[in-house]
Every structure is written in structure tokens, then in C-alpha cells.
Amino acid sequence: MEDILSMKGKVALVTGAGQNVGRQIAMHLAAHGADGVVVNDYFLDRAQAVADEINAQGGKAIALQADVSSHDSVKAMFARAFEKYGRVDVLVNNAGNAGATPNDDARKPFYETGPEVWKTWIGVNFDGVINCTAAALPGMIERKTGKIVTIISDASRFGDAGMEVYAGAKAGAAGFMRSVARGMGRYNINANSIVIAAMGTPMIEARLAENPERAKKILEKYIIRRLGRPSDVANMALYLSSPASDYITGQTYPVNGGFTFAL
């Protein structure tokens, strides 16, 4: 039986793929036969570990370091990807930052902070999507085919007190994807977003284990009473990257256990 999710003949680049959701997306794309997967991360050792894992399982991958918030860094990464594979057919904008920063000011209400703190969220979650998409599009336009998938957050639709700038950046990324879809459809380029809620990463699982009562209250907000798994998101990312989704563009798909609905 034909694999409708086959990635054969495609080269994919996944940002922030050194761990968690990004790692699983890269693994999924490679497992479905991608000609090559570019595993990007800010930390090269994390990206290399994932690329090594893919290659050990019979896939094809390389690791490339880049800071997606830097236009020059992204251009250099894509140049190296083109040098290796000659093209990028699929871009998954997964790199995100929910506020990890050494600056204690990030814990204050946003109106008591300033641009030095705000850029922590905007640089990766919004600028990073623009930088990578801009680098990927010329080649896709030339070949008249391409898939762009951007991972956003339920904070962008539902709102999240204390995460105003992060939520705004993610909402901006979703709006950007819709506009890219409208502008690039004539080149057979699809652009879609995936909305995720709280993920069961090791860090979050550890925090919830410390406070079972808080964990219970959080899980009660989900129709499916568990946190998301990286594989949940990777399944949708694979679908939107594959030929199976050729007639889908400009859409935002929640993969969030029913935390929010699409309509």
C-alpha cells in the first residue's frame, strides 16, 4: 500500500529540533523517507544528537546551528543546507521561546519591563518565523512547490495572563502564515499553523509532580485529560508536510486535547 504520508523526494528543515516537539517532528519526517532532514537548534550539540539518532536508524540528517532570531544566522544556515541538499522543500518553524531568560525582569508584568525583555519572545517566536520563511521561499517559488508549517500556542488564541508579549508574537506568526498562504498559493506553496497547549516535557512534568493539586486543576481544562506529547504534534506536522495535505493551506489546526476549539 502506498504511504500517503511519504516524504520521499523531499528535504525538510526543522528549527528548534534539538529536543521535545522539534526532535519528534524531525524523527517523523526522516522515518517517512525524507531525502534529508536538516536538524536546527541554537545549541549544536543538541541538534547533532538528534541528527545522529536519525542516521543511526537509517534516515538521512545533518545538524546545523543557527539563531533563528538573527536574519544573517538564518541565511547562513540555509546556505549550508542548500550546499548539502540543493534545496529545502519543507520548512517547519518549530523554534519557540516561552520566556526562558536569565533576566529576572521577565517575571514581572510586561508593562513594568521593556524591549530588552520583550525581544526574548518576539525574536524567536515571530522574527524567527519571518527570517526562516523568507530564506525558504525563493527556492520554493522557483520549484513551484513547498510546505511551510509553523508551531504556535493556544496563548495566541485564548490569551494567557502574564504571557502577553509571547501570546502576541505567536498570534503574529499565525497571521503571517495566513498571509503567506494567500500570496504563495499560485506557486503551489502551502502554509499552515499548528496550535499546541501545554506539552508534557520533562521540565513541565517535573513541576506538576511537585504540586499534584495544581496538576489536577490544569488537566481539568483539557477534554482529553493529559498533557500533549511530542508525537501528537509530530503526527500533524508530518501530515501538513506531506502530499496528503496538498489542498490545505492558510489553516490553523489545534493539537491540544480540546483545550480550545478550531471554530
Q: Active-site residue numbers?
A: 166
- Helix then strand then coil, in percent of the chain rounded to 5, is 50, 15, 35
H or E stretch including 151? strand 146-153
Please state whether beta strands 90-93 and 146-153 pair in parallel, antiparallel, or not at all (unpaired). Answer: parallel
> Which of 33, 18, 49, 2 minimizes the C-alpha distance to 238?
33
Spatial separation of the C-alpha atoms in residues 193 and 247, rounded to whole Å: 15
Spatial separation of the C-alpha atoms in residues 198 and 227, rounded to whole Å: 6
Spatial separation of the C-alpha atoms in residues 60 and 40, rounded to whole Å: 14
- Identify whether the C-beta of residue 263 lies closer than 8 Å to the C-beta of residue 205: no
Please count the residues of the chain: 263
C-alpha cell at position 190: 502551502
- Identify whether the C-beta of residue 25 lies closer than 8 Å to the C-beta of residue 238: yes
CB atoms within 10 A of CB 20: 20
C-alpha cell at position 101: 531568560
Spatial separation of the C-alpha atoms in residues 177 and 180, rounded to whole Å: 5
